[in-house]
Amino acid sequence: MKTSSSVWCLMVVLHIILLLGLGMISSSLGSMQQVPALFVFGDSLIDPGNNNNYKTLAKANNFPNGIDFPYGVTGRFCNGATLADHLGYLLGIEFIPACNDPRTTGSNLLQGVNFASSSAGILNDTGAKIGQNLPMFRQVELFGEKILPKLKSLMENSNGEDSATNTFEHFVAKSLIFSNIGTNDLLNNYLARFANPLHKPIPPQFWDSVLIAYGNQLKKLYSYGARKFLVTGLGPLGCSPYIIASFGEDRNQCYEHHNEIAVQCNLKTKTMVQQLNQDLPGAYVLYWDVYPLIRQIIDNPSQYGFKYSHCACCGAGPSNGLFLCVPGSILCPDRSEFVFWDWFHPSEATNKFSARQAYDGIIQSTYPTNLKQLVEL
C-alpha cells in the first residue's frame, strides 16, 4: 500500500512539474521579441518625455504623472504606460527610449526609439503657440539622419562591414513604425477654444492638405527602408474631458460636433493608407481605427471595467477637464476606474486594453490585418 501510494504521489509531482514547465515555456514564448525594433512617431498621447527640456507648456515631467509607471515621472501624459509602451510590451519590447534622452545612444537604440512630441502635429507650425515641439517632419528627419546612421555603425562594429548592409536593411525593414499623430492639427488650429476663440470654420480642404503632408512623411520613412507601418486614426475628440468642459452642455455627454469631424477625417486617412499600400512596393501599412473602440468604452464603461468615462482622474474644473494634471490637482483614488487620466489623455488601463485590441483584435478595427498578423509577415 505504501509503495503504491508513493508511486501515485511521485506521478502527481511529476505531472505538476511538467505543467509548470509548459507554462514557463508558454510564458517565455509570449514575451519573445517579435520585431527587431519599434520606432514611434506622434504627439502627447505617446510622448515619453521628449519635451521635458523644451520651452513649452506641453510637457508632463511632474507628479502625479507617472504615479503608476515603473520609472516614475518621465514626461508621459499618463498615470502609467502609454499606448506605445503597451504595444511594445505585446511585441516583447520592455522599454522604448525617448529620442531626446541623452542616454538614448549605443546599444540602447537597438530595440527602437520614440520620437513623439507633445503638441506636435503633421503640419510644421501646429502647436507653435504652446511652445517648442518636434513636428512630424522633424521626427522623421531625426529617424533617418541621426538614429539610422548610428544603428548602421553599431551593426558594422558587431557584424563586420561586409554583412552590415544586409543586416541593417533587414533590421529596418522588419522593424515596426508606429505613427499616432494628427489630433493637434485639428485641436490646436481649430477645435480647441484657446486656439480658435472666434470659432472660425475649418476650411473644406484642410484635412486633405494635412494628409498630403502626412503621406509624404510616411513615404520618407519608406525611403529610409521602413516597410511595416501601424498608422492610427483619430479618437472621439468630443468625448475628452477638455472638450466636454469647454463646449458641452451636459457633463455626461460627448460633444458630437467634434466627433463628427473626427469620423470624416478618419475616412480620408483610411483612403490614404489604402493608396500607400498600392503605391509602395513591399510595404505593409496597417490602418488602426481607434474611434469605434474608444467610443464603445466611453459609452459603456462598466462593460470594460470602468466607472467614469466623461471626467478625468486628475485635473481641475468641470469634468477635471480645464487644467493639466499638476501637483495640487484633484487626484482620484483609483486610476483603474477612469477612462481618462487627465483632460485629454487616456489612463493606462485604457491604453492597455486598446493595445491588445490592435494586436490581436478583430479586423474591423485594424485594416487590412491586425498587428499580430502584420509582424508575422
Tens-place pLDDT, residues 52-78: 999 999 999 999 999 999 999 999 999
Residues 174 and 256 in one domain: yes
More confident residue, 194 or 341: 341
Q: First CA to last CA across the chain, in angstroms?
A: 58
Residues 137 and 15 in one domain: no
Q: Where are the beta strands (DSSP E) in the chain?
A: 38-42, 176-180, 228-232, 284-288, 308-312, 314-315, 330-331, 338-340, 366-367
Q: Is the pLDDT of residue 93 over 70?
A: yes
Per-residue pLDDT tens for 138-155? 999 999 999 999 999 998
pLDDT at residue 7, rounded to an integer? 39
Residues 160 and 234 in one domain: yes
Q: Is the pLDDT of residue 42 over 90?
A: yes
Output the CA torsion sign for 167, 169, 174, 177. positive
* Rounded average pLDDT over 151-170: 78
pLDDT at residue 15, rounded to an integer? 40
pLDDT at residue 14, rounded to an integer? 38
* Rounded average pLDDT over 208-223: 99
Residues 13 and 69 in one domain: no
Q: What is the CATH number of the domain that holds 282?
A: 3.40.50.1110
Considering the candidates 47, 185, 289, 342, report the single residue annotated as catalytic: 342
pLDDT at residue 197, rounded to an integer? 67
pLDDT at residue 377, rounded to an integer? 87
Q: Is the pLDDT of residue 13 over 60?
A: no
Indicate the pLDDT class of residue 24, thresholds 50, 70 and 90.
Answer: very low
pLDDT at residue 11, rounded to an integer? 41
Residues 181 and 217 in one domain: yes
Residues 20 and 50 in one domain: no
pLDDT at residue 166, rounded to an integer? 72
pLDDT at residue 157, rounded to an integer? 83
Domain extent, residue 88, equals: 35-376
Please name the residues in contact with 337: beta carbons below 8 A apart, sequence gap of 6 or more.
Answer: 306, 307, 308, 313
Closest of 198, 61, 54 to residue 127, by C-alpha: 54
- Name the DSSP letter for residue 131: B
Q: In total, how many domains does the chain have?
A: 2
Residues 220 and 335 in one domain: yes
The answer to whether 314 touches 321, Cβ cutoff 8 Å, is no
In angstroms, the CA 225 to CA 290 distance is 27
Considering the candidates 44, 118, 347, 354, report the single residue annotated as catalytic: 44
In angstroms, the CA 332 to CA 338 distance is 9
Per-residue pLDDT tens for 99-121? 999 999 999 999 999 999 999 99
pLDDT at residue 158, rounded to an integer? 77
Considering the candidates 47, 258, 345, 347, report the single residue annotated as catalytic: 345
Per the annotation, the verdict on 342 as an active-site residue is yes
Residues 18 and 139 in one domain: no
Residues 257 and 335 in one domain: yes
Provide the percentage of residues in the chain whose pLDDT is more than 90: 80
Indicate the pLDDT class of residue 274, thresholds 50, 70 and 90.
Answer: very high
Residues 52 and 144 in one domain: yes
Q: Is the pLDDT of residue 189 over 50?
A: yes
Residues 23 and 88 in one domain: no
What average pLDDT is seen over the chain? Answer: 90
The C-alpha cell of 150 is what?
548610428
Phi and psi (nearest 5°) for 37? -160, 160
pLDDT at residue 195, rounded to an integer? 72
Residues 21 and 71 in one domain: no
pLDDT at residue 269, rounded to an integer? 98
Q: Is the pLDDT of residue 163 over 90?
A: no
Phi and psi (nearest 5°) for 223? -65, -25
In angstroms, the CA 109 to CA 1 distance is 63
Count Cβ atoms below 10 Å from residue 327 Cβ, excluding itself: 9
pLDDT at residue 164, rounded to an integer? 57
